[in-house]
Chain A
Amino acid sequence: GDDQPAVDPDAETETAYGNCWMCHHACGQELTVRDGTAVDINGVDEHPRGSAGPGTEGTLCPKGQAELEKLYDPDRITQPYIREDGELREADWDEAFEYTARRLEEFADEHGPEQLLDATSWSTTNVHEYFWGNLYGTPESIGRGRHVCFGGPHLSGNLMGLGANMRFVDYQHSDYIIAWGRNIFESFAGQWEPKGVLEALENGATLVVVDPQHTPTAQKADHWLPIEPRTDGALALAMGHVIIEEELYDEAFVEEQTHGFDAYQEAVADKTPEWAEDITGIDAELIREIATDFAEAAPAAGIALWTGVGQYAEAQKASQNVFALNGLVGNIDRPGGFRMWQGPPLQMNPFEERGIDLPNNAEGRQPALQLSPEYEDYPFRHTTGIGHTVVPEMVDNGHIMGMVNHYDNPLTDGSTQAWLEAIETMDLVITIDAYWNELTRNADVVFPEAIQLEKDTLINYAPTWSAYHDRRWISASKAVHEPLGDCKSGYEIYKGLAEELGWGEYFPWESEAEYNEDMLANIDYTFEEVAEQNFVLLEEFEYEQWEENGFPTATGQFQFDLDEEGGYAESADELGIDTAPEWIPPGTWGDEPDDEYPLHFYDTRSVFFSFGADQPLEHLHEQYARKHGLEGEDYRGNYLVMNPRDAEPRGIETGDMVTVETAAGEGDEPAMAYVSERTQPGFVTAEFGFGTGNSHEEGMNTMWVHDTQHDPVSSQVDRHLAAEIRPAGGD
């Protein structure tokens, strides 16, 4: 684009690498550097995340390619800012460190470190955990998986024995894949997923997609089940019913490796396909067929489930019902089924490696959610430390008075209006980010971090699942060139701040690369050696690891019934639900459409945007517009997708501006309507990460009309609301 420095076209080219941090799933990037400027970006062949595995080419999805644009984006924050006399102003690093240290000390004196919320999601190292937890002493941290992305399945997966990586199938070896509420060809955790599914399809595998909306994944499916929203749990129970009735389950596995089968059997006893047909809208015979074929293909049959069965109020129980099928057919950690991935043996505590005696200043400080009687109505306090939707209330109650963010924006993720007020109320907000938005503009300190391509990066965030189904791996890259402006790596920011706070002795590493080197202590490669090749494959790991290790649960077995999980059992008791699989109808906790708000309104993801931090990139919102055939309009916000049968009576056509309204009120801004048969009548959606509060403010913030709806078991934000859509006037 226009923003790259001028390049001598005759200069020699060099190659540099990256590991994509746009959606943080680390597909390998190969950059062509000419005259010191990166001029092109491609994938890395055979990369564990960015290819289909050995002998295949690596590529980059649109997000990964657009990191090249981000590298030279003039809209990035490239200088520290501090708040003085109520205004944010530019500062140099010394000033910014000094200011922040003083504010942190004052905050600790006034409120105590336990009132600072650690919301540091997407750092490239884990140094922040030691900084805020061990040194500053905050016990309160909020993450993405459990709180805003897929809390229900995250909790069910962990408690049942599948772990938090309950999303991924051993695709290439699979004969039968069910993408359950997953659009694998558009929203993936690394391109190895769509590539793996394409390979499986070429090998003759069957693909089943369960989704109320027609997606690119549904297009390639053998069976698309256009299910009624939020009825996944009923479909899963009926499938279990058929599999048991037809005696197609893995008796040996159930007998030897599982806990609570009796309770499960009882739960599905009367859940016939005919019962489920009424609820799900899926033909009973088709349910029988899918259940039978899935069980017969097992163990080479897998279920890929992520946010689709993760972002509504009844999602914990729905996902428990689905995951139970894995235990039933015995596909767990067997080729072609659900895979228990193993990561590299990283030294996650580089302080220990250096023999540094790090204090634990958070010890004895308990999260307010578990201490204070104000939160007794929140059953999730037994299963998780905090919830996204309860934070504004905790701020009101004076239990949280400050926050530190690191490449994350809570204003995109639920209760947006209350969160905006909460940020205003907080005494201290520190952010590390690349773009201006309502969070960074309201912060007291803004630190500009170098993007992944500008620093020596070791991927230590969950480097497990990949196209190599039996190999551990590690991926790293060296900076392509100096950071834009005054940006620094995350490690250098924490080191600078630590020195100012008198903790310099704990930070002997000069750079992020040195810190990374100690993380590789247990691995036979240096940082330099890994970065030179971009990735290396490590030792193999076996299938059926449960044979030797059992499952990481209370009973050591795969658990259909969660009765032995203390926290869960307490939550279930308070809610009056079973610990075993159970049908929880939609609306039990979340919204159900009614006369006033007759439409289901859900937020979605496209292939162009991930966590709300890459929307400002022009190539992405331009192609997003072209995909909808709306590039001729000036508008570059998100689209409100609705069926013609809902649009016509409301006088809405593609290209009209429309407003969303829920019980929480009217949307922040109108969005452009895209009227299409791809979506179920009664079911409207919009891409999240736009509008007020976001770094790309055009369009509507899908969570502006969200109040506090959540899954009471897991705390997950319920992103599915009852709504009405009206023409906004104009176009």
Chain B
Amino acid sequence: MFYFDPNRCIGCHACSVACKQRHDRDADADDWRTVSHLSRGEYPDFEEVPISMSCMHCHDAPCEQVCPPDAIIKRDEDGIVTVDRDRCIGCHYCAWACPFGAPTYDDEGLMSKCNLCLGEGPGGGHGQPERQTPEDGGPTPACVDDCVGEAIKAGPQSEVMAEATEKAAERFEQGAYGKRVIVEPLEEDADLADAIREGDEPAGAITYEG
């Protein structure tokens, strides 16, 4: 499970670059981890909040449920959602189902997305043994490892919850973002992205556009 704190995100895109380089992907390919910049208001009453997102490895994995050839698997052993590129038929159903717009499609037309750095490259997580914790020599996801503001965290729900503020944890328990990701509420009295602050809107309202 991922955790994101917009109060600590400086909007630098280090997570996007780190992900691309870890998985040896071309600069112009679609990002598995994106940073969008949501803005509102007229100068000087203006604000702009950076939002870093990727596949959230949802507990209910809507992408898995719609995948016709069963190429997408929500793994029991570590909760990571992986793609078997040998089975993928490139139908884009997963993109329609995903509340975060996470699936990307390359020149071959096949789906690829974040595998929590379980493996490297498109489809790299499929069939890998159970993910080990960083303490046991498992890889830290590149985006977590290189987040300049330490705004992104990842791990089992219990571990990530321990890092969250009481407010964020409370909202999570109340069902914010479909309990798919833990997001810290914005600290300042920002008039932006109520969805982010209140956590009561479907997370799909946060799109990858712009």
Contact = CB atoms under 8 A, between A and B. Distances in A.
Contacts of B147: 59
B21 A68 contact: yes
A42 B117 CA distance: 14
Interface string B7-43: 1101111101110111011111001001101010111
Given A62-B14, A65-B18, A677 B46 contact: yes
Interface residues of B, number: 43
Interface in A1-55: 1-2, 4, 9, 39-43
Nearest to B26: A1
Given A607-B12, A626-B16, A619 B150 contact: no
Contacts of B191: none
B12 A629 contact: no
A1 B47 contact: no
A186 B44 contact: no
A559 B127 CA distance: 68
Interface stretch (A513-521, A572-580, A658-666, A678-686): A678-686
A224 B142 CA distance: 33
B189 to A, nearest CB: 10
Given A42-B145, A61-B148, A220-B7, A1 B24 contact: yes
A220 B188 contact: yes
Interface string A56-67: 010111100110
Interface in A187-241: 191, 194-195, 198, 201, 214, 216, 219-220, 222, 224, 226
A216 B10 contact: yes
A95 B10 CA distance: 49
Given A40-B21, A60-B146, A220-B7, A626 B46 contact: no
A630 to B, nearest CB: 10
B49 interface: yes
B24 A677 contact: no
Contacts of A61: 12, 14, 148
B129 interface: no
B8 A198 contact: yes
B175 interface: no
Task: Please indicate which of the listed interface residues A61, A65, A629 has the most CB atoms of chain B within 10 Å of its own CB.
Answer: A65
A62 B35 CA distance: 13
A185 B146 contact: no
Nearest to B36: A629
Contacts of A643: 43
A629 B146 contact: no
A40 B24 CA distance: 9
A41 B46 contact: no
Contacts of B27: 1, 69, 618-619, 622
B7 A62 contact: no
A545 interface: no
Contacts of B7: 201, 220
Contacts of A60: 14, 18, 146, 148
A623 B8 contact: no
A68 B18 CA distance: 11
Interface string B130-158: 00000000000010011111100000000
B28 A626 contact: no
A13 to B, nearest CB: 11
B50 interface: yes
B10 A59 contact: no
A355 B50 CA distance: 56
18 contacts: A1-B27, A42-B142, A60-B14, A60-B18, A65-B17, A186-B11, A194-B148, A195-B149, A214-B44, A214-B46, A216-B10, A226-B44, A608-B13, A626-B16, A627-B13, A627-B35, A627-B37, A676-B39
Interface of A: 1-2, 4, 9, 39-43, 57, 59-62, 65-66, 68-69, 185-186, 191, 194-195, 198, 201, 214, 216, 219-220, 222, 224, 226, 607-608, 618-620, 622-623, 626-627, 629, 643, 676-681
A-B CB proximity, top 3 nearest: A618-B27, A185-B10, A629-B210
Given A195-B149, A619-B21, A623-B13, 6 more contacts: A65-B146, A194-B149, A198-B10, A226-B44, A607-B11, A622-B28
